[in-house]
Amino acid sequence: MREAFEQLKGIAGQCAGAPVWSLPDADLVDALHAVHNAEQMLTAIKLHLIREIDGRNLPITQQATSTTVWLRERLHVSIHTARRMVDLAGDLDKRPVLDAALSTAAVTVEQAHVIAKTVHDLATEATPDVVDLAEKTLIEDFADWEPAILRKAAQRILAHVAPEVAEDADRRAAERDEKHAQQTRAFTLTNNGDGRFRLTGWLDAEAAATINAALDPLCKPDPDRTPTQRRADALVEVCRLALRTKELPANGGDRPQVVVTVPYDVLRQELRHGHLDTGERLSAEQVRRLACDAHIIPMVLGGDGQILDVGQSRRLFTGPLRRALVARDGGCAFPGCDRPPRWCDGHHIKAWSAGGDTALHNGVLLCGHHHRIIHRGEWEVRMADDGRPNFIPPPYVDSERRPRRNVYDLRR
């Protein structure tokens, strides 16, 4: 058998070094399927070896604390990968039908993980005969489904093979999942130290559905942003919408606020940077954008950091002035944008920090995405003779820089 393994290794090495550019299309696809199937079979062999090694306690005799740790060191894999291999090796040892399916590439390794977990969970809900039937059904009827879809089918397999017990089992499983999700719910916002913050956490199904419902309208396809960037922007916009309401609880006696601190000598000259009240540094562009329509507490500092003035918290484009902006622009005024007024900021065409008036002729509604674009400085906003804003594109968009206007009439 050892000789067979050495021959197998040699054949694999020859195949790995063989050029594939000359293969016709059909042969290329056939070769991919052949190699993929061989990979599943080889994994089955590896798992048999791992099970035997574990059964003989070889890792313990070699001073390893466990088979998982031993595999991590021997095979140079992560502890997570090693643990999954040990678990699946044990499952295959107990489930000869599943073992045969993987050994013949009737299922993939990922599918085998799903099926193994399913039959393990079913063991507490159904009789051995029902469990065996569920395993056989998943292998024979659902092997063409990729793991994520197979997992959904596995969750309902009892309804397929034993409907008389499925309802009670589903109810108990849902209750367990709900209890576990509630007990383990968490949210963490971690400062990465490089200007980024990492969000991690767990939610139950109801909470996740609520968040998805709030984020989905803000995540429409956008060629300038990846899906993950759109979701990140949507989360921020939802929170900004919440800050605009008057229904949030008071925080230290005040409504929730963003405080931006700018040194006085910088404020008098060219704005370079600022700081949030949490200590994180903001770029000049971020400060100017916040200053346009944020709930600001102006804090002017002298050169040595003493507070010279703390103005009353105020919103710049509010009340009748904001209503006038909404009546005129109808929503984000950037050409082609259809975001409604409640998702928009009031932007100063001439920056407030540069002496621009908080007035209708110097204001325009912009959604968060287009607000950022305008603050980059490539597009210009100019008020036309009819009192409506025109947008002047950069030369790479239009070499003649012809004015553009939002004509999204369905929103107005």
Asked, for residue 191, whether it belongs to a domain, the answer is no
Residues 95-107 have pLDDT tens digits of 999 999 999 999 9
Asked, for residue 303, whether it belongs to a domain, the answer is yes
Asked whether the beta carbons of 341 and 326 are under 8 A apart, the reply is yes
On whether both 202 and 321 belong to a single domain, the answer is no
On whether both 20 and 152 belong to a single domain, the answer is yes
Asked whether the beta carbons of 283 and 271 are under 8 A apart, the reply is no
Asked, for residue 189, whether it belongs to a domain, the answer is no
Residue 392: band (very low, low, confident or very high) from pLDDT cuts 50, 70, 90: very high
Q: Return the amino acid letter for 401.
A: R
Asked whether the beta carbons of 116 and 98 are under 8 A apart, the reply is yes
Has this prediction a pTM greater than 0.85?
A: no
Lowest mean pLDDT of 238-252, 262-276, 328-342, name the range: 262-276
pLDDT averaged over every residue in the chain: 81
Q: How many percent of the chain have pLDDT more than 90? A: 31
Asked, for residue 208, whether it belongs to a domain, the answer is yes
Mean pLDDT of 172-180: 75
At 205 the pLDDT is 76
Domain boundary among 220, 244, 268: 244
Asked whether the beta carbons of 330 and 411 are under 8 A apart, the reply is yes
On whether both 81 and 227 belong to a single domain, the answer is no
Mean pLDDT of 164-170: 71
At 103 the pLDDT is 95
At 351 the pLDDT is 84
* Cα angle, residue 25 at apex, residues 23 and 31 outer, rounded to 5°: 65
Lowest mean pLDDT of 5-14, 143-152, 173-182, name the range: 173-182
At 308 the pLDDT is 31
On whether both 298 and 398 belong to a single domain, the answer is no
At 260 the pLDDT is 55
Lowest mean pLDDT of 215-229, 252-266, 357-371, name the range: 252-266
On whether both 127 and 226 belong to a single domain, the answer is no
On whether both 262 and 331 belong to a single domain, the answer is no
276 vs 200: which has the higher pLDDT: 200
Q: How many domains does the chain have?
A: 4
Among residues 39, 55, 153, 146, the alpha carbon closest in space to that of 103 is found at 39
On whether both 88 and 176 belong to a single domain, the answer is yes
Highest mean pLDDT among 45-54, 204-213, 218-227 belongs to: 45-54
On whether both 39 and 159 belong to a single domain, the answer is yes
Asked, for residue 250, whether it belongs to a domain, the answer is no
Q: How many percent of the chain have pLDDT more than 70? A: 80
Domain with 43 in it: 2-182
Q: Other CB atoms closer than 10 Å to residue 180's CB: what's the count?
A: 12
On whether both 320 and 399 belong to a single domain, the answer is yes
Residues 337-352 have pLDDT tens digits of 888 887 888 898 988 7
Asked, for residue 188, whether it belongs to a domain, the answer is no
Asked whether the beta carbons of 125 and 169 are under 8 A apart, the reply is yes
211 vs 178: which has the higher pLDDT: 211
Lowest mean pLDDT of 95-109, 252-266, 372-386, name the range: 252-266
Tokens for 312?
Answer: 């009353």
On whether both 13 and 37 belong to a single domain, the answer is yes
On whether both 162 and 70 belong to a single domain, the answer is yes
At 72 the pLDDT is 92
248 vs 344: which has the higher pLDDT: 344
Asked, for residue 249, whether it belongs to a domain, the answer is no
Asked, for residue 271, whether it belongs to a domain, the answer is yes
On whether both 297 and 325 belong to a single domain, the answer is no
